[in-house]
Amino acid sequence: MTGSKLEKNLEDRLVRQHEKRLQEESRKRAQGDPNVPDPTAETPLHGPVDVRTLANEIYDLDRDVYIHTGSALGRVFNFDRDECVRTFVRSVKNNRRDIIRGETALIGNMARTISDPEIRSDFMTRYSRISEQLMHLLDGMAQDEITDPKQARLNPFNEFQKDDPLIICIGREYGSGGSQVGFGLADALHINYYDAEILTRIRDREELTESQVNEPEYVARESGKGVNPGLAYLQEGDSLKHKLRRIYSYHGLPIRDAVFFKQSEFFLDQAKKRKPFVAMGRCTDVVMLNNDIPHISIFLSAPLEQRIHHIMTLRGASYRAAKRQIRAVDRAHADYYHYFTGRRWADAGNYDICLNTAVYGVNGAIEFLLRLLENNGLTDR
């Protein structure tokens, strides 16, 4: 029997085992068995999150989702369990929250494509539990570091109204907690989340040949010495061969331009299919605006001092290094936004909602935005 047939038989057997387990648990719940957990019940967190246990749960979810979706993009974690766990632990230790958050969100995005509602519900329950633990692990007490108690008294409440599908475009100053807010908002709304890291992963996987899919590039992309963590996705260190292949694939266009157009097409395709999502940056607000697609544009900011201390806490950086990182990332975002839109990045007139996260903190900002959406009939949570 060939290797492909063996793999297919293994996948079929795992699917049957998983479906049998779901049916058995459903039968026991119907009989009132107290030992079978309700998949719709919220699981509160008690005590610290065990990093290795969480890494194994993410690995298992990725494997099971792949078995049921058969995604042409392959698995998110495409190397063995031990290497994945080591990589996860190393990323946590190095505060590579953007990578961990992006990889996990990509699994959730694929899980939402499963057609069987019972299996999809089971996977999304597991994903939500993992996401909650991630928020607890990655942000922890640090997510409140951005809150300014003096400004928290302001806490205004404004209303807005937009039509479905729910498309939320978020721009943010570096260090304002924007990525945490975007990720948490997408998870609370049960919709897909896209940031630069996820889009880069999708692009790279589409460019890889079948024989290259199993290469552990996840490890290679982690930021190294001298790399600004906020710009790591721009500093991948591709080989000359890889760069030449991209130039050929992009028909001679500058890589940055070609990637932007391809990402824009991706978002427009999602909107055309009426798929709701949260997008971080990438000029998505203007892309939607220029194509007359209803959306909500949000810009998240915070005072410089609050952001500096936030980055110091998250990255373990000195005051000067954190300030230098913030200025470099904000300048890159402003240049990118102006280059492709002709607009001024962070100009309040370009956004529906401008939110100072120092007033709310990460959890407060998520709750505030959810309340706005709920009050305007855009979600019932």
CATH code of the domain covering residue 268: 3.40.50.300
Rounded-to-integer distance, Cα 13 and Cα 193, Å:
31
Residue 124 belongs to a domain: no
The whole-chain average pLDDT of the chain stands at 78
Structural domain contains residue 63 = no
Helix (H, G, I), strand (E, B) or coil at 55: helix
Decide if pLDDT at 160 tops 50: no
What distance in Å separates the CA atoms of residue 173 and residue 331, rounded to the nearest whole number? 10
- pLDDT reported for residue 12: 59
Residue 315 lies in a domain: yes
pLDDT at 285 over 50: yes
Q: Residue 329 — pLDDT band, cuts 50, 70, 90?
A: very high
69 pLDDT band, cuts 50/70/90, is confident
pLDDT of amino acid 212? 43
Q: Could you read off the pLDDT of 163-208 as tens digits, one per residue?
A: 568 999 999 999 999 999 999 999 999 999 999 889 888 877 766 4
Residue 126 maps to a domain: no
pLDDT for residue 376: 76
- Grouping H, G, I as helix, E, B as strand and the rest as coil, residue 194 is strand
Is residue 29 over pLDDT 70? no
pLDDT at 44: 44
Instruction: List C-alpha distances in Å: 169 to 63, 183, 274, 353.
Output: 30, 12, 15, 10
Is 12 domain-assigned? no
Say what the pTM is: 0.70
Query: How many structural domains compose the chain?
Result: 1
**Residue 268 falls within a domain, yes or no?**
yes
Tell me what pLDDT residue 148 has: 63
For the chain, the straight-line distance linking the first and the last C-alpha, in angstroms and rounded, comes to: 49
> pLDDT tens digits for 331-377?
999 999 999 999 999 999 899 899 999 999 999 999 999 998 888 77
Band of residue 80 on the pLDDT scale cut at 50, 70, 90? confident
Q: 341 in helix, strand or coil?
A: helix
Please report the pLDDT score of residue 214 as a whole number: 39
Provide the pLDDT for residue 132. Answer: 87
pLDDT surpassing 50 at residue 318? yes
Instruction: Report pLDDT for 141.
Output: 41
Q: Which domain holds residue 277?
A: 146-191+238-381
Tens of pLDDT, residue by residue over 93-152, are 777 777 888 889 989 999 998 988 999 999 999 999 998 888 888 765 454 556 666 545
In a domain, 50, yes or no: no
Q: Comparing 73 with 201, which gets the higher pLDDT?
A: 201
Q: What does the pLDDT average to over 309-318?
A: 90
Task: Please check whether residue 49 lies inside any domain of the structure.
Answer: no
Mean pLDDT of all residues in 298-316: 94
What's the rounded mean pLDDT across residues 196-223? 56
pLDDT tens by residue, 240-255:
555 555 555 555 678 7
